[in-house]
Structure 1
């Protein structure tokens, strides 16, 4: 009977250690999940800010202003503009 009691005691201790270990792993995994969700949220905010910044830099009025001020470019007069038809060959 003593051997059976010792065997059951060791089985109980092993099960208890298994429960503690699995709970610890579950808590660690949950903490990692929380960190990943926080990082994901932060990256989504940064992505939105970058899209807003890109749309600001790509505005036609901004490009036109920069072209005029930095590169001294201007819109050509209508008599200097030539319209080329699309889809027609050069030999026609």
Structure 2
């Protein structure tokens, strides 16, 4: 009977260690998940800021101002503008 008790005690201890180990792994995985979610939120905010910055840089008035100041470009007057009609249909 003592051998059976010792065997059962060993099995119980092994099971207990298995539970502790799996709980520890689960807690570590949960911490990593929280870190990843925090990083994802930070990256989402940064992405939104970059989209806003891109739309600011691409504004027509800003591009026109830069073209005039840096490149010396200007909008042609109406006498130098020709409108080409767009063909629609078969050909």
Give TM class, smaller chain. over 0.9
Which position in structure 1 is the counterpart of 2:68? 68
Q: Which ranges of structure 1 fall in alignment gaps of 5 or more residues?
A: none
- Structure 1 runs of 4+ aligned residues shifted over 6 Å read none
Mapped to 1, the partners of 2:81 and 2:41 lie a distance apart of 50
Mapped to 1, the partners of 2:67 and 2:4 lie a distance apart of 90
Number of equivalent positions? 88
Residues 33-44 of structure 1: matches in 2 within 5 Å? 33-44=33-44
Q: Which ranges of structure 2 fall in alignment gaps of 5 or more residues?
A: none
TM-score by length of 2: 0.93
Residues 47-66 of structure 1: matches in 2 within 5 Å? 47-66=47-66
Which digits, 9 at most, give the CA deviation of each residue in 1:17-61, with x for residues without a partner? Answer: 011001000000001001101100110110011011001100000
